[in-house]
Chains A and B, each alone.
Chain A
Amino acid sequence: GAGVSQTPSNKVTEKGKYVELRCDPISGHTALYWYRQSLGQGPEFLIYFQGTGAADDSGLPNDRFFAVRPEGSVSTLKIQRTERGDSAVYLCASSLQGGDNEQFFGPGTRLTVL
């Protein structure tokens, strides 16, 4: 079956612009996570959704970052007034209802802010 998909695979933008990154989780997975990975580092947690609600957004670095999941399936990570330091690979993962269930990761979106 289809895994987690993320679009676009690559995004190049200019400093100060707004970007949206999309995640399509595995069908039926109620838990969805966003992580950010900088070069040479492990993924860094950003936000966790259980259904439509953000159950834990403690990893969002500042108020320029926001994520939604209005129908409990597709999620969009939104970054306002992008900065060069936002350049990273943004990973999305989903799992069955959170818990001990493994997280399935998508291939990521590589964001480059010039």
Chain B
Amino acid sequence: DAKTTQPTSMDCAEGRAANLPCNHSTISGNEYVYWYRQIHSQGPQYIIHGLKNNETNEMASLIITEDRKSSTLILPHATLRDTAVYYCIVRVAGGTYKYIFGTGTRLKVLA
């Protein structure tokens, strides 16, 4: 499974867009990019995933570069409740579907 690299921490002002980068330069053609977040003392929560195309849902947008070596998770209007650790994960299509988590980005939304 490809390794991901994320900044250790980021701050974002409430109401602003939070842009969380992820580098996955060794990603293979059949590996998906997943984003989860973990709020303190809870289990991780699914946000979004994609393979090649940009994706958007009610929580966030996922922008994947054309070469697929990096991606950005965008929270369009961050709120205090978005303060969490955000994990970028790449996972092989097929196989056992296990996730390999890194250490994630600790996002702090400031009032």
Binding site for B on A (CB under 8 A): 4, 31, 33, 35, 40-45, 48, 55-56, 59, 91, 93, 95, 98-100, 102-108
Q: Whole-angstrom distance from the CB of B107 to the nearest CB of chain A?
A: 15
Q: What residue in chain A is nearest B48 (Cβ atoms)? A: A102
Contacts of B95 in A (CB 8 A): 56
Given contacts A105-B44, A108-B43, contact A98 B101 (CB under 8 A): no
Are the C-beta atoms of A99 and B97 separated by less than 8 Å?
yes
Are A48 and B43 closer than 8 Å at their CB atoms? no
How many chain B residues touch A (CB < 8 A): the figure is: 22
Contact B97 A40 (CB under 8 A): no
Cβ contact within 8 Å between B32 and A45:
no
Secondary structure of the B contact surface, majority rule: loop
A45-B46 in contact given A100-B32, A100-B93 (Cβ < 8 Å): no
User: B45 on the interface (CB 8 Å rule)?
Assistant: yes
Q: Contact check: which of B32, B49, B96, B103 meets A41 at CB < 8 Å?
A: B103
